[in-house]
């Protein structure tokens, strides 16, 4: 299985004629069927968050791909938190 670092070095091409939709999600539902994982990205109604969520996009992937995704997301969160802490320290130093 390739690590996140190996997978992140893959060249991803975005052809000019293809429009890739962008979705916002504030709720993700996950389920497993046989060897595949289904991630359902939804929008929850802000006024009634427990009453309704509209499906925006569904992604299917293997468990191995999910592991790489988790590793990549964890790395992304660590980098984000490190940057935010550096900014806080700079703000405290300038105050």
32-69 pLDDT, tens digit each: 998 999 999 999 887 876 778 899 999 999 999 999 99
Residue 1 in this model has a pLDDT that exceeds 50? no
Residues 6 or more apart whose Cβ sits within 8 Å of residue 72:
4, 7, 8
Largest CA distance in the chain: 56
Structure confidence at residue 17 (pLDDT): 82
Confidence of residue 12 (pLDDT cuts 50, 70, 90): confident
- What is the arrangement of strands in the sheet containing 36-44, beginning at the earlier edge strand? 27-33, 36-44, 53-62
Determine the pLDDT at residue 29.
94
């Amino acid at each position: 299985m390739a690590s996140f670092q190996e997978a992140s070095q893959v060249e991803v091409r975005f052809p000019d004629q293809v429009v890739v939709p962008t979705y916002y999600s504030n709720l993700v539902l996950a389920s497993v069927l046989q060897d595949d994982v289904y991630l359902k990205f939804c929008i929850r109604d802000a006024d009634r968050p427990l009453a309704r969520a509209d499906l925006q996009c569904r992604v299917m992937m293997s468990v191995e791909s999910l592991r790489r995704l988790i590793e990549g997301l964890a790395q992304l969160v660590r980098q984000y938190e490190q940057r935010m802490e550096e900014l806080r320290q700079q703000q405290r130093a300038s105050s």
